[in-house]
Structure 1
Amino acid sequence: MIRFPPRRILVPADTTEPSLAALRAGRDLARRFRSSLSAVYVESLPPSLLGFSVEEGADAAGEIARQFREFRAWREARLRREAAGLPAGRFRVRTARGRPERMAAALARGRAADLIVMGTHGRRGLSRFAAGSVAEEVVSRARVPVLIVRPFRGPFRVRRVLCPVNLTRYSDEALRAAQLVARSCRARLSALLVRSAADDEGLALARLRARLDAVLGRPAALRVRASVRVGEARREILAQSASYDLVVLSAHRKSFLGDLILGTTAERVLRFCAVPVMTVPAPAKAKTGVTLY
């Protein structure tokens, strides 16, 4: 079950600007909802000492260990500055060791938080193919909602929420989550259905309204602005998102082959949307095996 407002917020954090933006967004949400916030840094293992002689090994290992301690202290101080304003008991810097994409995905499979907040570089083309997107990897495996943000200025605020729907059961979960977010943030919620040119507009709007009634209940559904657009789903979602502070959608995935060739609507929106996106997963029981300290 999705919990919003979240009691526990987790930010896989480093000291890059996209990551610090995610930490600031997590901080602002934690302030508003009195949540706990954990910044998790994934630390790569120290380099091999196989290239050193026996005499050099001890000195080299000691120097590497010293540099790691200094960098860890600097990193923690940097992250704490970004979380300034939270009581000490509600903010914690934690560390996991391993490859960032694997550890972040392992964290996402667990339930160490009610919400994961991540920054993204928005990599595209060959650079994305070569390096991969840690954010998309987390979204694909997460058991809790994932909020993806790009670098921003000012406080993180949500006044207008857009929820694209396609009248399926998995998009119903995103609609419920969007309602929780809008209610908690006192924001206006809009539901968007993208239809083909062959579909009748009036019938499509009636179906959307009926779905809102069924999923949210009649009183809540009446407070949702429903709209229908014609075209390709991802293009229309991106076009409409410019007028909103947050897009909430399902992270439902296609088969591996279909995903590899075409991608899903959610992944396309994640890559190109200029406003924050919150993805909502289907329930699962997997747990994390990552050790934090």
Structure 2
Amino acid sequence: MEYKKILIAIDSSSYSMKAAKAGFALAHQLNAAVGIIYVVNRAKEIVNADLGITTGESETLLLNEAENTIGQYLRLYDGIGQVEKFTPEGLPEDEIINIAEQWGADMIVMGTHGRSGIGRILTGSLAEYIIRHATIPVLVAPPRME
């Protein structure tokens, strides 16, 4: 199988930085196109009328966070060619799979928080979900990767 399109799933965590490093390095080695996805998770939306935060303002804040994070990663890893940016709104587990299929990705690269035990049971594992539901290979950068 050839890997011509690599989709890197990120968020604002340090775990995503490790995944981005691995994904960009792999794309360089394989001369593959890169897509970077930051899902705007509406479940994290904060609306507080007492503080004057409306739904529209909260949506804008979440989208700005996504754009800023992608921008930071792209500034750190420039010179690798055109990078396709995706900022869909929805649940990360659904949107990562959807964008990978729509874009025609050959591989998904993502990080993991490395939770275990009760923490993983209570919060679930996005990486585990993607591994189980993706129809393409998934590379997961471990939390302790150097």
**What is residue 10 of structure 2 aligned with on the other side?**
13
Cα offset, 1:65, TM superposition: 5.1
Equivalent AA in structure 2 for residue 101 of structure 1: E
Is 1:79 the counterpart of 2:73 in the alignment?
Answer: yes
CA RMSD across the alignment: 2.8
**Structure having the higher Rg:** 1
**What is residue 40 of structure 2 aligned with on the other side?**
43
Per-residue CA deviation, residues 147-188 of structure 1 (Å, 9 max, x unaligned), is 1111433xxxxxxxxxxxxxxxxxxxxxxxxxxxxxxxxxxx
Name the CA distance, whole Å, in 2 between partners of 1:98 and 1:62.
16
- Native 8 Å contact 2:16 2:111 kept in 1: yes
1:114 counterpart (106, 113, 126)? 106
SS of 1:76's equivalent in the other structure is helix
Name the CA distance, whole Å, in 2 between partners of 1:62 and 1:135.
30
- After superposing on structure 2, the runs of 4+ consecutive aligned residues of structure 1 that deviate more than 2 Å are 45-49, 59-73, 81-85, 101-112
| CA 108–60 in structure 1, closer or farther in 2 if over 3 Å, else same | closer
Name the CA distance, whole Å, in 2 between partners of 1:82 and 1:142.
28
Structural mapping, 1:226-265, within 5 Å? none
Cα offset, 1:63, TM superposition: 3.9
Is 1:148 the counterpart of 2:145 in the alignment?
Answer: no
Cα offset, 1:121, TM superposition: 1.7
| CA 125–107 in structure 1, closer or farther in 2 if over 3 Å, else same | farther
Equivalent AA in structure 2 for residue 76 of structure 1: I
**What is residue 128 of structure 2 aligned with on the other side?**
136
TM-score normalised by structure 2 residue count: 0.80
| CA 69–138 in structure 1, closer or farther in 2 if over 3 Å, else same | closer
Per-residue CA deviation, residues 228-279 of structure 1 (Å, 9 max, x unaligned), is xxxxxxxxxxxxxxxxxxxxxxxxxxxxxxxxxxxxxxxxxxxxxxxxxxxx
| CA 136–47 in structure 1, closer or farther in 2 if over 3 Å, else same | closer
2:27 counterpart (12, 30, 47)? 30
TM-score normalised by structure 1 residue count: 0.43
Per-residue CA deviation, residues 14-37 of structure 1 (Å, 9 max, x unaligned), is 121221111111101111121101
SS of 1:93's equivalent in the other structure is strand
Name the CA distance, whole Å, in 2 between partners of 1:85 and 1:21.
18
SS of 1:84's equivalent in the other structure is coil
- Native 8 Å contact 2:39 2:66 kept in 1: no
Per-residue CA deviation, residues 49-94 of structure 1 (Å, 9 max, x unaligned), is 6x649xx98x83564355345424422222213432312x2x1221
Residues paired across the two proteins, number: 144
Structure 1 unaligned spans of 5+: 154-293
